Chain A
Amino acid sequence: MASTAYFDVVADGASNRLQFFGSWTIANLGDVDPVVRQYVPSPGVPVVLDCEHIDRMDTAGAWILYRLMRRLSDNRAVSFERVDHDQQALIDVVGSHEEHVEEIPAHKAPLLASVERFGANIERAFLDTKNSIGFFGMLIQVLFRMVRRPKRFRLTSFVHHIEISGFDALPIIMLITFMIGAVVAFMSADILSELGVEIYTVELVTITFLREFGVLLTAIMIAGRSGSAFTAQIGSMKAHEEIDAMRALGLDPMELLIIPRTLALLVSLPLLTFIANVMGFVGGALVCWMTLDISPGMFMARASEATELRHLWVGFIKAPFFAVLIAVIGCYQGLRVEGTAETIGAHTTASVVQAIFATIVVDAAFAVFFLIVGL
């Protein structure tokens, strides 16, 4: 159906006649456009643009002809000939807007743009940290206010979030800690049996889990599971102006949304940590039984004899800190969603990354602290 667009130049001495042929529609212009751009007749010679043989024309075709006419008319007479009514209308439409057609501003150089992005990211990281701390302060303030007026505490929401972020997370947390417990036991059994001290596998499993793995794995899982959910929920409420609606109705989003979520994590994360520790032991004990002939009874006896209780507290003391970190970062990122829904994804990613990062940094700080105080 579509014939290609092309043109012939007929020079009769006095003037150059450009005859256009075919369909001057956007689909056919890819090849002819550069040729039109490069066409330069000798200066001064009048040019006639003959449109008689154009089958079809759209705004793109009209634009190219109009642009040619404008370019050539700098130093010679240019005229259209045998333009039918519809074609003339199109050329007029295009021409009436021509004065505004300018170059779209050039894009920044890619290298410069990436340096700029790097700088902006660093700035944002600082701002995010600062604002998260400020947000945490606000949270404390609202909590104190609530202590004086406990009626404002949303018990239903609190329990709901314990169920969602705690109870519903049980299967996945039990599974991963069981497997990590087994892996730790496998690795250490392999190396320790070469030294003939395979019984120490029990301590390795119990101490690493009580101090680090139980709480850290739980926190990372919760950051991915609940922290991201907090951001997405609050973010979509923000995008749909629900948060504004709450404020307009005299309700405090901090009380309604953020306090119940934070307190719920504060309850569920330590509980999950306990389950995580137990499942890590189960995984370790199973491997000890299978590969080292240490029966579960022996495992328990050895664990209670050789592992001190302080390891348990070292692990547990960290759980509430991680819970608050994850909740604060998740909720803060949710509230930072602005305007339309498309930023929710970016903030959810940021929430998970920052929460896991903060968890590990705080965990390392605790490790140094416990080392110094000798726990």
Chain B
Amino acid sequence: MRPMAGTDETIISVRGLRTQFGSHVVHNNLNLDVRKGEIIGVVGGSGTGKSVLLRAIIGLMTPQAGEILVFGEDLTKMDPPERSAYEKRWGVLFQDGALFSSLTVAQNIQVPPREHLKLSQVLMDELAALKIRLVGLEQNSAGKLPSELSGGMRKRAGLARALSLDPEILFLDEPTAGLDPIGAAAFDNLVKQLQQNLGLTVFLVTHDLDTLHAVCDRIAVLAEQRVMVVGTMEDMLAFDHPWIKEYFHGPRARAAKLSA
């Protein structure tokens, strides 16, 4: 049932996407396919609309044109209850975790099951504790408020909440931004491990070359308002485009390559 990285089945399909804010066009005629079971990394310079693409896919903003199919369905054409059934099948980690500030970590993790499912409190407590360990947090962080956690811990807690309904797709928005290199590497490993163990498809927006080297099966580069190229790290290194060359051959890229 759970496929290995990169099957041929397409789980997210974006066709002819156009998004704009006022007169500022972010994407124009953007196409992207995400295969089931892969980790795809989306990169691009600042302002190329990486996060906007993620928000468009999960339905937080409505594109001006184009079609977005997730699980083979166009979610924008559904009414809210029908949508909600699909939304439960993905988890999203926002940049700073976006934990609910008035709830403890355990309560944050229990929000999706409490709202969507009928589970006993005991089972929810057990599952929250399991998810907390799964993302590598200390058990005693369960009762802490988000303001009592460090940035890295907040991200892990956010990841635990994103995983709380055992989603099929995991959206990560700059998961390693703001973490120290050791924490970032640990987070990369965690994502890879979870992806393998739970059979997730991971859609990952990042700036972090180490992450790209360490975990991504494929990389999609956003430039000139569209997806310039999709492929493996080798494809990126061979591709001839000034920005991509600079990005993947710059001094930081070389360091990342050495350590990968």
Contacts and interface: CB of A to CB of B under 8 A. Distances in A.
Interface of A: 25-27, 29-31, 33-34, 55-56, 58-60, 63-64, 67, 86, 89-90, 93-94, 97, 100-105, 339-340, 342
Contact of B129 (A33, A60, A102): A102
B102 interface: yes
Interface of B: 1-2, 88, 101-102, 106, 113, 116-120, 123, 125-131, 133-134, 139, 142-143, 147, 163, 165-166, 196-199
A108 to B, nearest CB: 11
Contact of B126 (A34, A86, A101, A342): A101
5 contacts: A29-B119, A30-B117, A97-B130, A101-B139, A104-B106
A63 B1 contact: no
B166 A26 contact: yes
A93 B127 CA distance: 13
Contacts of A55: 1
A70 B62 CA distance: 48
B106 A86 contact: no
A96 to B, nearest CB: 9
B147 A339 contact: yes
Given A59-B130, A59-B131, 16 more contacts: A27-B88, A29-B123, A33-B119, A59-B163, A59-B166, A63-B126, A86-B1, A86-B2, A89-B197, A97-B134, A100-B133, A100-B139, A101-B130, A102-B139, A103-B125, A105-B142
B125 A104 contact: yes
A93 B130 CA distance: 10
Interface of B is mostly: helix
Nearest to B101: A342
A30 B123 CA distance: 9
A39 to B, nearest CB: 15
A340 B147 contact: yes
Nearest to B193: A93
B133 A97 contact: yes
A55 B2 CA distance: 11
Interface of A is mostly: helix
Contact of A63 (B88, B113, B127): B127
Contacts of A105: 142-143
B133 A59 contact: no
A64 B119 CA distance: 13
Contacts of B106: 104
A27 B85 CA distance: 11
A29 B101 CA distance: 29
Contacts of A26: 113, 117, 119, 127, 165-166
Given A33-B120, A104-B142, A67 B1 contact: no
Contacts of A340: 101, 147
Contacts of B131: 59
Contacts of A56: 1
Nearest to A28: B117
B81 to A, nearest CB: 15
B143 A33 contact: no
Contact of B120 (A30, A59, A89, A90): A30
Contact of A93 (B88, B117, B126, B197): B197
Contact of B166 (A25, A89, A103): A25
A104 B119 contact: no
A90 B194 CA distance: 10
Instruction: From B113, B116, B133, name the one whose CB has the most chain A CB atoms within 10 angstroms.
Output: B133
B143 A104 contact: yes
Contacts of B119: 26, 29-30, 33
Given A86-B2, A90-B198, A104-B142, A342 B102 contact: yes
B2 to A, nearest CB: 5
Contacts of B101: 340, 342
B169 to A, nearest CB: 14
Contacts of B117: 26-27, 30
Contact of B134 (A30, A59, A64): A59
Given A340-B101, A340-B147, A58 B130 contact: no
Given A30-B118, A104-B142, A342 B166 contact: no
Contact of B128 (A100, A104, A342): A104
Contacts of A94: 130
B83 to A, nearest CB: 16
